[in-house]
Structure 1
Amino acid sequence: MEISFTPEIRRAGLAGAGARLLGVAAVLVSLLLLLAAGPPAAADTTQVRALLHQGQDLLRAGQNDAARPLLLQARTLAQKVHFEAGEIEALRVLGKAELVHGSFAEARAFLTQGVALARRTPGQPGLADVLLALGQVANEQDDYPGALRACEEALRLYHDQGKLRDEARTRNGLGIIYSSRGDFPRALAMLLPALHQTQQLRDSALQANCLTNLGGVYFRNNDARKALYYFGQALPLVRRQPDQGALADCLTNLAVAHQQLGEFRQAEPFYQQAIAVSERAGEQAQLGVVLSDYAQLLTDLKRLPAAQTTLERARALLEKSGDVGTLAATLVALGHLHQQLGHGAEAETQAHRALALATPIKDWSVQESAGGLLASLRKRRGDYKEALRYTELAQAAHDTLFTQSKAEEMGRLQGDYQLSQERERAQALARTGERQQQRLQAQQRQLWGLGLGLAAAALAGLALWRLNRLLGRKNQQIERQRAELTELNATKDRLFSIIGHDLRGPLHSLHAFVELLAGPPLPPDKLAHYTQRLTHTLDHTLALLENLLHWAALQMGAAGPPRPENLDLAALANENIGLLTAAAEAAQVSLAHSLTGEEQAWADPAAVRLVLRNLLANAIKFTPAGGTVQVSARRTGAVWQLAVADTGRGLPAPTPLQELRPETLPRRAGEGGQARSTGLGLQLSRDAAARNGGQLLVASAGPGQGTTFTLKVPVAETVEVPV
C-alpha cells in the first residue's frame, strides 16, 4: 500500500490494446474465481480478496474505469457476508481510485465511510491505512486541520503497531504537509526522524524521497546551502532508481540551489545532465521546465544569445505539452530577454502572449511581471496612457498576491489555533475523566455496606450530573467564543481587503500620475483628462475613507448608542441634496425631492443623514448624464418609507421590493469612468438602519430601468403640524 504526498498525483497508464486486454483479462479472472469458489463462507471472503486484488492491478495499470466496478462489487459482497476487513479495504482502494482520478469529494466520502466502519469493527482493522489516505485527500483539498488530524492519528497507530516503514512514510507525508503551509520547524521535526527510520530500514527509495523533501524545506526557507547538502545526498540514491523523471528533478534541484548561491559555474553541469536525462526519457514538459530554468542561468552569465535559443526551445516544448502556467512564465522571461537585447517589438509580443495565457488561469505572478514589462515598454515609446493602464494592472496583480499570501498565513494560523483548541479540550476532558475515576475509586474503598454503597453511588451520580452540566455550559461558552472569533475574523478580512486593494489602488494611481507629471510636459488635453480622472479618484477615496471610519466604529462598538428624536425628513433631504448638488451637476444628473414638511420621524438624525447621503451618492454614481434622482416619502401605518429612486442602469435582473443584501449586488464601475464600487456604503447604510430599528429595502425593474432604495423609519411619537 503506497500513498504519495507529492503536490501532483502521477497517473500511470498503459496505452493501446495492451491496456484494454489487461482490463478484460482482469474481469475474466475475477469471474473464473467466482465460478470456482468452494464452500460459501470461505469462498465469499476469497472472492472479495480476489476482486480487490484485480481492482488494484487495474489501478496500477491506469485502468480506473475497469477497476471501479470490481471494487464496488467487492464492497457489496463483503457487506453481504459481513466481512468488515474486506469492506474497509474496498472503501480504501475506492477512495484511492477517486483520488487518482481527481474526484476529491467522492474519494473523501469513501474514505470517511471506511474510517467509521474501521472504528466500529473489533480490532479496528486497516484504520491507519484509511486514515493516511484520508489525510492525503484532505491535503489535496487544502483542508490543513483535517489532513493533520488524520495523519497524526495514523502515525500514532503505526507507532503502536510497530510498523516502522509505514510510520516513516507517514512522517514523510506530514513533513510535506507542514512544509507546503510554511511551517518549517514542524516540517523538520517530522522529516528528520523519518530519514533516520529509512536509514534503519535500508529503504533507498523512501530515503531519497525524505532527503529531497528536506532539501525542499530548506530551499523554501531560503537556506540554499543546507538544501544543496540534502539534494547532494539524495542524488546517488535516485540514480539507482528506474524513475528518470525523479533523476531529472534531483539534478535540476542541485542546479537551482547552486544558482541561488551565485555558484553559476557549478550549476551549469547539473542543468546539462538534467537536460540529457529528460531528453532520454522523452518527457517534453519536464524538458521544457529544465530548459526554462537553464535559460535564467545563461542570462545571469550574460550569454544572452544562448539564453534566447534555450528559451525558444523551451517555449516550443511547453506549447506541445500544454503546460500553460510554465509556458506563460517562459514567455515573460523571453520578453525580458528581448528587452535587454533591444528588441522592443518582440518583447512586447511575448509579454502580450504571456498575459493572455496567465489571465484565464489567474497566474497573478506572471500578470504582474508581464504588466510591468509592458508598462516599461509603453513608457519608453511615450504612450503614457497605456503605460499607466499596464502599471495599474501590474499593481493590482501584486496586491492580489499580497492578499493571497496574507490569507494563507491567516489560514495556517487559524488552523493551528483550531488544532490547539481541540487538543486542549481533549486533554481537559481526559484530566476530568482521570479525576472522576480517582474519586470513584476512593469512594469504593470507603464502602462498608450496602447502604453506604448506595449512598456513594447516588453521590457519584449527582457529581456526574453536575459535571455534565458544567461541561455543557463550558462547551456553550466555547461555541459562543468561536462564533465571535469567526465574526471578528470575517470583519478583519473585509477591512484588510478594502485597505489592501480598494484604498491602495487610488493611491497608486495618484503616484503614477505624479510620475507622469515629473516626466516630459504633457499636452493640455491629456493633462486635463488625467486631472479630471484624478479628481474622480480622490473624491471616491475620500468617500470610501469616511464610510470606512463609520463602519469600523460600528463594528468595534465605538459609535455609541442610537439617540432617536423627532426628525424632519424634508429638512434632512434639503440638507443632503445641497451637499451633493455639485457632484450631481458634474455628472449632469438632476436632484429633487417631493417631501412637504409633514414627514416627521422618530430616529437618530446622524444615522438617517448617513444612510440618505450614501444612497444619494450611489444613485448619482450609477445614473448616466441627463438622468434624475428623486427623493420621496410615503407613510404606511406607523412607518415612514423614505425612497431614493434613480433612472440609472438598474440591477442585472428584475428585483421586487425586498430587504437589501449588499453582498449579492455586483461591484461595478460608475458612470463617466468613476471608480468601481466597494459595496461598503450600502453595507454601512444597512447596518446603521438596523442598529436604529429601521430597515433598508431595494427594488429594480431590471437593466436600464433604474433602482429604488427605501429606508423604513418609525413615525414620530408626537407630530407637530406646522401653522
Structure 2
Amino acid sequence: MLIAAGPALAAPSPPDTAQVRALLHQAQNLLRAGQHEAAQPLLQQAQGLAHRLHFAPGEIESLRVLGKAQLVHGSFAEARAYLAQGVALARRTPGQPHLADVLLTLGQVANEQDDYPGALRACEEALRLYHAQGALRDEARTRNGLGIIYSSRGDFPRALAMLLPALRLTQQLQDSALQANCLTNLGAVYFRHNQYREAQQYFRQALPLVRRGPDLGALADCLTNLAAAHQQLGELAPAETFYKEAIKVSEQAGERAQLGVVLSDYAQLQTEQKRLPAAQATLERARALLENSGDNGTLAATLVALGQLHQKLGHAAEAEAQARRALALAAPIQDWSVMETAGQLLASLLKQRGDYRQALTYAELAHAAHDTLFTQSKAEEMGRLQGDFQLSQERARAQALARTGEAQQQRLQAQQRQLWGLGLGLAVVAAAGLALWRLNRLLGHKNRQIELQRAELTELNATKDRLFSIIGHDLRGPLHSLHAFVELLDGPPLPPAKLSQYTQRLTRTLDNTLALLENLLNWAALQMRASAPIRPENLNLASLVEENIGLLSPAAEAADVTLTNRLMGEVHAWADPAAVRLVLRNLLSNAIKFTPAGGTVSVSATHENGLWQLAVADTGRGLPAPTTLQPLRPEALERRTGEAGQARSTGLGLLLSRDMATRTGGQLWVASAGPGQGTTFTLHLPAAEQPAAYARLEG
C-alpha cells in the first residue's frame, strides 16, 4: 500500500485523514495507468489537505509521489523541489516517517540530472535508514539502484560492492523479479568493462527468471543483452538466435521504440557478417520505428550506422544525408560519441567530393567531440581517484584515532591498576580526567590539521582540473586543426587562394595558442613561487602603459581597434613591475579580442584614498548582464569567442591577472553597463611617493 510503512498510518484515522489516503491511492492508480495530468491535481489536493490537518506522514507521502510523477514526466527541477520539501518535513517530524522513501526518489532524480554526488548522498542515507529498520526488500532495492548509479559512472568496484549483496538479499527474500533485475545489472557492469564471459553468465541466470514474469519488455532486454555478449565473444550463431527471439518478443509487446533499439543492434551483427543489403533493410526498419519515439540519442546512432553502411555500398549522397541528420539530432542533446562519428563520416565524404573547406570544418568538429569525450572520461576517472583518496584518508584517520584511543585506554588502565593498589581513588579520577582532556585537545589539533590539508588538497585539485582541461582541450584543438590542414595538403593540390586562406587561419590559431602557452607557463611559475617574496618598487605607470600599448599596437591595428593612453602627469605606484606588466598586457589583449572593428580601448588612471586606479575600458560587447563595479571573479565569467573569428577565451589570463595583482598588493575590479556597452577592468595599486622623495631616501 502507499503509506502503510509508518506506524502513524497504520493507526485508526479520522475521516479527513482517510480522505488524504484515498486521494493518494486514486492518484497512484492513475500514475500506473500513465495518466499523469489527471493524477497531478489529486496529489496537490492530498498535500494541501494533509498540511491543513497537520498530518505530516500523509503530506510527506504526497510530496514524494508528486516528485515521482514529475520525474516520470521529465520535469526534474519541479521533482527535486517537491522532494526537497518532503525531506525537510520528514526530518522535522518525530520518527521521520517515509524519509528513506523520499531520499531514494530524490537520488533517482539527482542521477537523471547527472548530479552524481547528490544522488549518492541521498541513496546512501536511504540505505542506512532501510538497514536500520530491517527493511530487507527496500535495502535490496536501494543497493540495486546504487549499483546502477556507480555503473553508469564507470565505478566498477563500487558497483559490484552494491549489486552482489543486493543479489544475496533478493535470493533470501525469494523475490524473482528483483533478483532478475540485479542479475541483469551485474551482467551490464561486466559488459561495460569488457568482461563478456562473466556478463554472459549473469544474463543467462536472469533469463529463466524473466521468462516466468509477465514483462515482455524485460524479456526482450535480457535476450538482447545475451545476444550482444555472444556477439562480442565472436559467437555469431547463438547471437543471431537471441536477436531474432528478442525481435519477436518486442513485436508481441507492441513496443515500437524497444523494437527499434533491438533492430539497430541486430544490424551491427549483420554488418559484421558482411550481409550489407540485409543490414540496410534492418536499419531502415529501425529508423522508421524510432522516428517518433522521442529517443533522439538512439535514432541519431542508428542514422550514423545507416550512413556508414551507405558509404560502404557506394551511396555517397545518401550517406551524407543520414550523417547530417544524425549530427542535427545529436548536437542539441550533446551526444558527443555520435557527433564524433558523424563528423568523421562527413569529413571523409566531403574530402572525396573535393570540398576541402567543409571537410576541414567537420574534421575539426569530430576532433572537438573526441576531445570532449576524452576530457569527460578523464574527469570521471579523476573524480573516482579523488573519491578513493578521500575514502582512504578517512579510513586512515579513523584507524589512527582508534589506535590512539586504544593506546590511551591501555595506559589509563595501567595507571588505574597502580593507583588502585595505593588506594588513591580520587587521584585515579583526576588522572583519567586529565588524560581525556589531553586526548581531546590532541584529537582537536589533529582534526584541524586534517581539515587544513583537505582544504589545500581541494584547492590544488581545482587548479589541476582547470589546467588539465585547458591543456586537454584548448591546446589540443589547434594541434588537431594543424593535423587536419596537413591531411588536406596530402590530397590533391589546393588552389592558391584557398591555401592562403587556410594558412592565415592556421597562423591566427597558433598565435592564440602561443599566448595561451605563455599564460600557462606564467601560471605554473606563480604556483611554484607562491611563497617567494614580491619585489615592489617605485613604478612609473605612464611609462609602463605606453610600453604595453606599443607592444600590442600591431594586434590592435589588425583588428581595426584604436588604443589610447590617457594617463597624465606623474603616476607612480608601489608594485612589482613584472606583475603589473603581465596584468596590463592580459587586460589589453582581452579588450582587443572582444572589441569589434572600429572600436576603442583606452587606459586611464585616477588617484583616491592612497591608491592608483588604473582602468582599461573598451567599447566591446560587454558582459551578459549589467554589472556594477565589483571585485573580479574570473570563474564566474563565461568563456566567449573573440571578434572576427578569434579563439574562445580560456579564462586563464584573467585568473592569472587577478592572482598577480593580489601578490603585488593590488586588486582587480570589473564593471559593465551590459551587452554591447563595453567593459572596464580596474587595477587598484598602492600609490608611491614622488621620485624625489625616494631619491632622498636612497641618498
Q: Same fold (TM over 0.5)?
A: yes
Distance in 2, matches of 1:46 and 1:453, equals 64
The answer to whether the Cα contact below 8 Å between 2:127 and 2:139 also exists between their aligned partners in 1 is yes
CA shift at 1:282, angstroms? 1.0
- Pick the aligned partner of 1:477 from 449, 473, 495: 449
SS of aligned partner of 2:691? coil
Letter in 2 for 1:101: Q
Check if 1:265 corresponds to 2:237: yes
Distance in 1, matches of 2:195 and 2:466, equals 35
Q: Where does the alignment leave 5 or more consecutive residues of structure 1 unmatched? A: 3-25, 31-40, 81-86
Letter in 1 for 2:68: L
CA shift at 1:698, angstroms? 3.3
Instruction: Identify the residue that residue 324 of structure 2 maps to in structure 1.
Output: 352
Letter in 1 for 2:615: A
- Pick the aligned partner of 2:86 from 84, 104, 110: 110
SS of aligned partner of 2:292? helix
Alignment deviations for residues 337-360 of structure 1 (CA, whole Å, 9 cap, x no partner): 222222222222111211111111
The answer to whether the Cα contact below 8 Å between 1:45 and 1:78 also exists between their aligned partners in 2 is no
SS of aligned partner of 1:520? coil
- Pick the aligned partner of 1:309 from 281, 286, 292: 281
Instruction: Identify the residue that residue 674 of structure 1 maps to in structure 2.
Output: 646
Distance in 2, matches of 1:105 and 1:225, equals 43
SS of aligned partner of 2:214? coil
- Pick the aligned partner of 1:68 from 40, 43, 50: 43
Residues 150, 444 of structure 1: alpha-carbon distance in 2 compared, 3 angstrom cutoff: farther
Residues 645, 114 of structure 1: alpha-carbon distance in 2 compared, 3 angstrom cutoff: closer
Percent of residue pairs bearing the same amino acid type? 73
CA shift at 1:370, angstroms? 1.4
Check if 1:385 corresponds to 2:360: no
CA shift at 1:364, angstroms? 1.3
Distance in 1, matches of 2:447 and 2:633, equals 32
Distance in 1, matches of 2:324 and 2:520, equals 37
Residues 50, 204 of structure 1: alpha-carbon distance in 2 compared, 3 angstrom cutoff: farther
CA shift at 1:441, angstroms? 8.2
Residues 142, 536 of structure 1: alpha-carbon distance in 2 compared, 3 angstrom cutoff: closer
Instruction: Identify the residue that residue 208 of structure 2 maps to in structure 1.
Output: 236
Q: TM-score, normalised by structure 1?
A: 0.83
Residues 196, 570 of structure 1: alpha-carbon distance in 2 compared, 3 angstrom cutoff: closer
Distance in 2, matches of 1:46 and 1:424, equals 56
The answer to whether the Cα contact below 8 Å between 1:59 and 1:97 also exists between their aligned partners in 2 is no
CA shift at 1:454, angstroms? 6.2
Distance in 1, matches of 2:266 and 2:507, equals 48
Letter in 2 for 1:68: L
- Pick the aligned partner of 1:43 from 12, 22, 25: 12
Distance in 2, matches of 1:448 and 1:49, equals 65
The answer to whether the Cα contact below 8 Å between 1:329 and 1:366 also exists between their aligned partners in 2 is yes
Alignment deviations for residues 6-60 of structure 1 (CA, whole Å, 9 cap, x no partner): xxxxxxxxxxxxxxxxxxxx9xxx9xxxxxxxxxx96338985885477356425
Check if 1:413 corresponds to 2:388: no
Instruction: Identify the residue that residue 76 of structure 2 maps to in structure 1.
Output: none
Describe how 1:183-582 pairs up with structure 2 within 5 A.
183-422=155-394, 460-557=432-529, 560-582=532-554
CA shift at 1:537, angstroms? 0.9
Residues 407, 452 of structure 1: alpha-carbon distance in 2 compared, 3 angstrom cutoff: same
The answer to whether the Cα contact below 8 Å between 2:151 and 2:159 also exists between their aligned partners in 1 is yes
Distance in 1, matches of 2:30 and 2:408, equals 56
Alignment deviations for residues 574-624 of structure 1 (CA, whole Å, 9 cap, x no partner): 332332233233334444434456323221111111112222222332334
Letter in 2 for 1:515: E
CA shift at 1:162, angstroms? 6.5
CA shift at 1:242, angstroms? 0.3
CA shift at 1:247, angstroms? 0.4
Instruction: Identify the residue that residue 694 of structure 1 maps to in structure 2.
Output: 666
Distance in 1, matches of 2:129 and 2:315, equals 62
Residues 525, 390 of structure 1: alpha-carbon distance in 2 compared, 3 angstrom cutoff: same
Distance in 1, matches of 2:628 and 2:143, equals 58
Check if 1:101 corresponds to 2:46: no
SS of aligned partner of 1:249? helix
The answer to whether the Cα contact below 8 Å between 1:144 and 1:415 also exists between their aligned partners in 2 is no
The answer to whether the Cα contact below 8 Å between 2:303 and 2:325 also exists between their aligned partners in 1 is yes
Residues 250, 601 of structure 1: alpha-carbon distance in 2 compared, 3 angstrom cutoff: same
Distance in 2, matches of 1:658 and 1:496, equals 29
Q: Where does the alignment leave 5 or more consecutive residues of structure 2 unmatched? A: 5-9, 72-78
Q: How many residues align?
A: 677
Letter in 2 for 1:691: R
The answer to whether the Cα contact below 8 Å between 1:131 and 1:154 also exists between their aligned partners in 2 is yes
CA shift at 1:423, angstroms? 5.3
Distance in 2, matches of 1:643 and 1:632, equals 5
Distance in 1, matches of 2:428 and 2:65, equals 53
- Pick the aligned partner of 1:631 from 603, 609, 614: 603
CA shift at 1:262, angstroms? 2.3
Residues 152, 497 of structure 1: alpha-carbon distance in 2 compared, 3 angstrom cutoff: closer
Distance in 1, matches of 2:415 and 2:125, equals 35
CA shift at 1:387, angstroms? 0.9
Distance in 1, matches of 2:637 and 2:107, equals 38
Check if 1:91 corresponds to 2:52: no
Distance in 2, matches of 1:251 and 1:357, equals 28
SS of aligned partner of 2:285? helix
Alignment deviations for residues 62-113 of structure 1 (CA, whole Å, 9 cap, x no partner): 1643663576479659956xxxxxx558735742552353113422442464
The answer to whether the Cα contact below 8 Å between 1:279 and 1:287 also exists between their aligned partners in 2 is yes
Letter in 1 for 2:86: F
Letter in 2 for 1:659: P
CA shift at 1:232, angstroms? 1.7
Distance in 2, matches of 1:276 and 1:636, equals 81
Alignment deviations for residues 617-665 of structure 1 (CA, whole Å, 9 cap, x no partner): 2233233444443333333353333333344444445545443333344
The answer to whether the Cα contact below 8 Å between 1:580 and 1:617 also exists between their aligned partners in 2 is yes
Instruction: Identify the residue that residue 607 of structure 1 maps to in structure 2.
Output: 579
Which deviates the most, 435-444 or 402-411?
435-444
The answer to whether the Cα contact below 8 Å between 2:44 and 2:62 also exists between their aligned partners in 1 is no
Letter in 2 for 1:238: V
The answer to whether the Cα contact below 8 Å between 1:689 and 1:696 also exists between their aligned partners in 2 is yes
Residues 280, 543 of structure 1: alpha-carbon distance in 2 compared, 3 angstrom cutoff: same
Distance in 2, matches of 1:146 and 1:373, equals 38
Residues 146, 596 of structure 1: alpha-carbon distance in 2 compared, 3 angstrom cutoff: closer
Distance in 2, matches of 1:429 and 1:146, equals 29
Letter in 1 for 2:446: K
Distance in 2, matches of 1:253 and 1:485, equals 42
The answer to whether the Cα contact below 8 Å between 2:23 and 2:43 also exists between their aligned partners in 1 is no
Distance in 2, matches of 1:632 and 1:460, equals 69
SS of aligned partner of 1:44? coil
Residues 392, 453 of structure 1: alpha-carbon distance in 2 compared, 3 angstrom cutoff: same
Alignment deviations for residues 392-415 of structure 1 (CA, whole Å, 9 cap, x no partner): 111111111111222222233333
The answer to whether the Cα contact below 8 Å between 1:594 and 1:631 also exists between their aligned partners in 2 is yes
Letter in 2 for 1:488: L
Letter in 1 for 2:462: A
